[in-house]
Amino acid sequence: MGQKLLRFVKVIFFISVFSVYNVFAVDTNYYVGTGMFDVTGPATEINMMGYAKGSQKSNGIHLRQYSRAYVIKDKEKDTSVVFVSIDACMVSTAVKMQVAKRLAALFPGLYNETNVCISSIHTHSGPGGFHQYILLDVTSLGFVKQSLDALVDGIVESVKIAEGNLRPANLHVTSGELLGANINRSPTSYLNNPEKERAKYKYDVDTTMTLVKITDERNFDVGMISWFPVHCTSMNNTNGLISGDNKGLASHFFERDMNPGQLPHQVSFVAAFAQANLGDVSPNTKGPHCMDTGLPCDTATSTCNGRTEQCVASGPGRDMFESTLIIGAKQYEKAKELYKQANITGLRLSGPVDFRHQYVDMSNYKFQLPTGKNVTTCPAAMGYSFAAGTTDGPGDFDFTQGTNSTNKFWSVISGFISKPSQKQVDCQKPKPILLNTGEIDVPYAWQPAVVATQILRVGQLIITALPGEFTTMSGRRMRESLTQVFSEEGKVTNATVVLAGLSNTYADYIATFEEYQKQRYEAASTIYGPHTLSAYLHLFKKMATAMVEGKSMDVGPSPPDLLSKQLSFVLPVVFDSAPLGYDFGQPLEDAQASYKQGDLVSVRFVSADARNNLMTNLTFLTVDKLSSDGSWTTVYTDSHWETKFQWSRTSTLLGTSSALVSWQTSSRDPTGVYRITHTGYHKALLEEPKQFSGTSRKFTLTSLEWSYTPNDEIISFQPRD
């Protein structure tokens, strides 16, 4: 047989394979790429962002934080949008601006701040310090560059990965009701909304989960995004382990399910559980009780005997880990059910990819209310109830608890607190002003004045980038208003408006005008005054109208770049040392020789400050299983729910520390021989950090005749591998 004939046969073979492939291909409406990357911040010594609790410092990892990116590209035009959901408390202006700058340089003419939306899940268990405005960095003792860099680098990496795997795809949207996973934490404020409006809704929280399923041209699974409003405050303000809380866990479960055999940082199917209108929505479904007496708190004031500290909401679990598991599993299971049916009963998205973006100076936005009255927003200010915190985490903003002398950052800046002008007092009424942040910029701005507003569109799907925490009713008003614009003026059949909470700028809370009158926490934190929500409704409606009319928006004033001015009072790692007679990584308390399925395995290692190297895209621990060929295979990392990396300083003077690595085994873990490892970096005085690694003894895991695992009654989740 000649060379020519062989080539002919080869060509015929490829043509037939190609045709068979094409027969199975389905029509697709978009190009989609997905990417996920580690954004875990410093796991030791840095204050967690969210509860504003000075003593809540990071001391290990339960679940790593990730950025989940979705690039969606129009098939006809050259328009793309990027939606990113990150496991962080919020997106700061600094994060958004840095990411936009980096993406604009990497993909010239393709991406900038206008078509990239970064939304956050609002976990209260991630290290802070990534803000450029003072008030938001107070509890972290100022700016923490490592926190900012971890977020920016990881988000950019996730978008690069997504951009690198763009492929023809379909998106289907569907929604369903999820009950028992959220409650209103300011029900008395909600009741101040007009009765006629409340009568339109069954509950005082939104209970709808909206989900987008992404499949490729062969109907293979690519990814999903879901939106559901609930605070990520299942882990309470005593937790120091980095965690994505209930939403981070739901993503972890969904991704394990769809990526069998893959470790968390290797997954290709990306599942975001994004945030929505969560302002007044708590996951602590047992509701608030007095910690000392167990009785319900006073509802209107959330106090016990007139004091806030004891009034805390918890549940539904017996402790915060179980509560996280239950609320996370509920979201995961609902999403799985919706995902299955989305491409059968859901709406297949079709139509243009589009976006609008505008910066707005919210400190002085003048506009006309639908009633005809001309009103204005005010310079930012926090009301008194802000300091009281919420029932998810009662306040101890340092100055109210008399601990300001221990917080250096606070003492330096407290001298600059300004007295509100009469105009400001009138504008913010009835809010009694505690922190007049909008009228001071010494040493630099305290809260944002310029806010990003943005809408992304993918056919019938309208993603509304909310620059803060909209309460339930505030979100409903926004959704109704935009649905009306798109369906009536834009003639978009089945327009589906989703609210992407905590996107692009963190401008605190947004309560309705009626809720504002009650001045509970959410209202006290509605920083631009009583007309804040109405201003956003006005702005977003203008933007939606411009979109359906094909008109552009003014760019608006640029937010300031304050990164060169940042103050930081966080002490860097000076040195680490190992106790006399020990090496870094050596077990201090080794594993037992054998365990039964269901046992907790734990090993304490000589460790060092985890800030020496964040181990991004790596792990501080592994659980390895011995294979028949004598090699070790990693089955768990520090990002698995089953493991914990708990760090503690043993002597500040000597620079010694230890790490407790634990693994909750279960009947799903095959019996066999295992070991646990711990890796990190240690720093000698005035030297660069060096890597260390240590291993436990080998141990066996044996089976249980009667199998019981602590979590089985709660979650039916079964990894397929």
Ligand X SMILES: *[C@@H]1O[C@H](CO)[C@@H](O)[C@H](O)[C@H]1NC(C)=O
Q: Could you say whether residue 87 binds ligand X (CB under 6 A)?
A: no
Determine, following the binding rule CB under 6 A, whether residue 236 of this chain makes contact with ligand X. yes
Q: Which residues are catalytic?
A: 282
426/431 Cα distance (integer angstroms): 9
Interaction between residue 114 and ligand X (CB under 6 A): yes
Least distance (Å) between residue 402 CB and ligand X: 3
Q: How far is the CB of 115 from ligand X (least distance, A)?
A: 6
Least separation in angstroms between residue 368's CB and ligand X is: 5
Choices 9-17, 60-68, 341-349, 670-678; region in contact with ligand X by CB under 6 A = 341-349
The binder of ligand X chosen from 2, 108, 109, 306 (CB under 6 A): 109
CB of 473 vs ligand X, minimal distance in Å: 25
| Binds ligand X (CB under 6 A): choice among 74, 87, 157, 624 | 157
Rounded Cα distance, 67 and 271, in Å: 11
* HSE, side-chain direction, 13 A CA sphere, residue 99: 35
Task: Return d(Cα 359, Cα 228) in angstroms, integer.
Answer: 26
Residue 192: both structure tokens together? 């101040």
How far is residue 671's CA from residue 23's CA, in Å, rounded to a whole number?
45
Residue 45 beta carbon to ligand X: minimum distance, rounded to whole angstroms? 21
Report d(CA 598, CA 103) in Å as an integer: 46
Cβ closest to ligand X, residue 219 vs residue 421: 219
Q: Give the nearer residue to ligand X in terms of CB position, either 122 or 336.
A: 336
DSSP letter, residue 487: I
422-461 residues near ligand X, rule: CB under 6 A: none
Among residues 265 and 541, whose Cβ is nearest to ligand X?
265
Single out the residue of 125, 237, 275, 436 in contact with ligand X (rule: CB under 6 A).
237
Looking at the DSSP bridge assignments, the partners of residue 32 are 72, 167
Answer for which of 55, 301, 404, 545 binds ligand X (CB under 6 A) is 404
- Chosen residue from 171, 297, 312, 349 binding ligand X by CB under 6 A: 312
265 binds ligand X (CB under 6 A): yes
* Residue 343 is a binding residue for ligand X (CB under 6 A): yes
Q: Count residues contacting ligand X (CB under 6 A)? A: 31
> Any contact of residue 354 with ligand X (CB under 6 A)?
no
According to the binding rule CB under 6 A, does residue 493 interact with ligand X?
A: yes
Q: How far is the CB of 366 from ligand X (least distance, A)?
A: 7
Contact 659, 646 (CB under 8 A): yes
For the segment 564-623, give every residue that binds ligand X (CB under 6 A).
Answer: 617
DSSP 3-state of 547: helix
d(CA 565, CA 440): 15
Shortest approach of ligand X to residue 243 CB, angstroms? 12
Cβ proximity to ligand X, 356 vs 678, nearer residue = 356
Q: Binder to ligand X among 2, 108, 294, 402 (CB under 6 A)?
A: 402
CA distance 578 to 682: 9
Q: Does 215 bind ligand X (CB under 6 A)?
A: yes
Work out how close the CB of 240 gets to ligand X at its nearest, in angstroms, rounded to a whole number.
12
Can residue 368 be called a binding residue for ligand X (CB under 6 A)? yes
Measuring CA to CA, which residue among 230, 262, 250 is closest to residue 338? 250
DSSP calls for 152-181? HHHHHHHHHHHHHT-EEEEEEEEEEE--SS
211 half-sphere exposure, CB direction, 13 A CA radius:
28
Cβ atoms of residues 225 and 211 within 8 Å: yes
Quick check: 112 binds ligand X (CB under 6 A)?
Answer: yes
The dihedral of CA 709, 712, 717, 718: what is its sign? positive
Q: Which stretch binds ligand X (CB under 6 A): 1-9, 215-223, 514-522, 680-688?
A: 215-223
Question: Which stretch in 182-190, 224-232, 366-374, 379-387 sits in contact with ligand X by CB under 6 A?
Answer: 366-374
Nearest residue to 326 via CA among 284, 289, 291: 284
What tokens were used for 114?
A: 């206008």
CB of 239 to ligand X, least distance (A): 7
- 221 lines the binding site for ligand X (CB under 6 A): yes
Site for ligand X contains 413 (CB under 6 A): no
- Could you please report the per-residue DSSP string of 230-276? --B-SS-TT--SB--HHHHHHHHHHHHHHSTT--GGG-SSEEEEE--
* 319 contributes a contact to ligand X by CB under 6 A: yes
217 and 265 in contact (C-beta within 8 Å)? no
- Write the burial class of residue 276 (CB in 10 Å: 0-12 exposed, 13-18 middle, 19+ buried): buried
The binding site for ligand X (CB under 6 A) comprises: 109-110, 112, 114-115, 157, 215, 219, 221, 236-238, 265-266, 312, 319-320, 343-344, 347, 368, 372, 374, 399, 402, 404-405, 414, 493-494, 617
